[in-house]
Chains A and B, each alone.
Chain A
Amino acid sequence: MTEKNRRILWLAVFIGCMLPAADLLRRLFTGDLGADPVETLIRATGDWTIKLLVAGLLLTPLTRILRNPLPVRFRRMIGLYAFFYVCIHLTLYLAVDQGLDIHAIVKDVLKRPYITFGMMAFLLLVPLAITSTRKMVARLGPKRWRQLHRAVYVAASFGAVHYYLLVKLDITWPLIYGAILTTALGWRMWQAMPLHKTLRAGA
């Protein structure tokens, strides 16, 4: 792929990830968010967070399987977009859903497992977002940086649990996300295993 095409692709992915937010904004101003706009916004931004996290986690396996470095180049952008959506998600929960009632929020986080998991997932994503720059990779050293960023598997899993715990009955999507995450994590672990490395070296 030429440098020019790569730039076009980069821009397309960048705009593509922004579209859900733009669409929600459009629906907010045209009154097209349904009977419960707050609920719609919270659900949609949460949904995009987990979609992007899961998509981001598939990029490394994809790069290795395709033996093409292209997918992994989008990892940071996708990850940061996931963080962007989770920030809106959390802000809406704190400011609108809970009306910034600190007492109620603390109680909610401690008492309700789905909120607890959601909050832990968010807290895990914060250091990852902060250390997402090239400078921070250099400062931490690639090895430590990689170790730190493995936390994204934990964050995404907590996100899936958060989702699983809040639905009333229809757990289809939480289970789909869970299955993809498990597969991706399993694949990475298998790749890291000495046996696999030996086999690959032998071949």
Chain B
Amino acid sequence: ANAGTLKFTKSPLSTKGEELTSLKDVTGYNNFYEFGTDKSDPAAYAGAMKTRPWTVEISGEVRKPVTLDIEDILKIAPIEERIYRHRCVEAWSMVVPWNGFSLSALINRVEPTSKAKFVEFTSLADSKTMPGLLLPYLDWPYREGLRMDEAMHPLTTLVVGLYGETLKNQNGAPLRLVVPWKYGFKGAKSIVRIRFLERQPATAWNTANPSEFGFYSNVNPEVDHPRWTQAKERRIGDFFRRPTLMFNGYGEQVASLYRGMDLKTFF
């Protein structure tokens, strides 16, 4: 029902020289705990989620709070194809040709006040269509957050599709976030609210286990997860592991955001 073709241009921000992960794997191997903890659960169960009509409430420390219809969001900026590496905190990775535009385009429209220091993203929590909500793994609804400068970074992408088609439900339809230098869970799926805050928001995984999942969660091969190593990853489709790159290989673009910060403390 939601497989529409998107018109897009190729983004200069795309990662070059990487082989794309197959559409089958990108849409069949997902973590979306609202539909279950197995990676095949989202593809099996997310079809029940209704993605039309869909509105996103944009509120908090902004001059122009607004509730936008997804159709209007699609017109905020030209849709681009952005090929990014996608690194899961579980030490596997993919390369995905996302379709979307920089989150900054939306942020500029609502004019954050000087008090806006953080952005919080809230995902849909609909117990009728999301069996995973019954289990108390995370403090639902799923929430994620970014510092304002991270949110404004051109690489931070509001995603509406992949491989030139509108997002499938299991990938976070109709609107999700992708922050390519951070672990995948920072990219909230099926977003219903974007809130601008003065203080750092409580986020789902960080709340569930603060010693293991940091607020920043930048991909960092030198800071291991307490229970497994982050030094290497298995690219989906490969047999053996490859070294993980600092900031997932986007250090040139984003390292300056964290200048002077101890990344072992602010992991």
Contact = CB atoms under 8 A, between A and B. Distances in A.
Interface of A: 34-39, 96-99, 104, 107-108, 111-114, 165-166, 168-170
Contacts of A97: 234, 241
Given A36-B92, A99-B240, A166 B25 contact: no
Contacts of A112: 227-229
A149 to B, nearest CB: 31
Given A35-B25, A35-B28, A96 B239 contact: yes
B37 interface: yes
Interface of B: 24-25, 28-29, 33, 37, 39-40, 90, 92, 135, 137-138, 208-209, 224, 227-229, 232, 234, 236-237, 239-241
Given A36-B92, A39-B92, A169 B137 contact: yes
B29 A34 contact: yes
Contacts of A35: 24-25, 28-29, 39, 236-237
A97 B234 CA distance: 9
Contacts of A96: 239-240
B135 A166 contact: no
A138 B240 CA distance: 45
A114 to B, nearest CB: 6
Question: Which of A36, A107, A168 has the most CB atoms of chain B within a 10 A radius of its CB?
Answer: A168
B7 to A, nearest CB: 29
A111 B234 CA distance: 20
B86 to A, nearest CB: 12
Contact of B234 (A39, A108, A113, A165): A39
Contacts of B33: 169
Given A34-B40, A35-B29, A166 B228 contact: yes
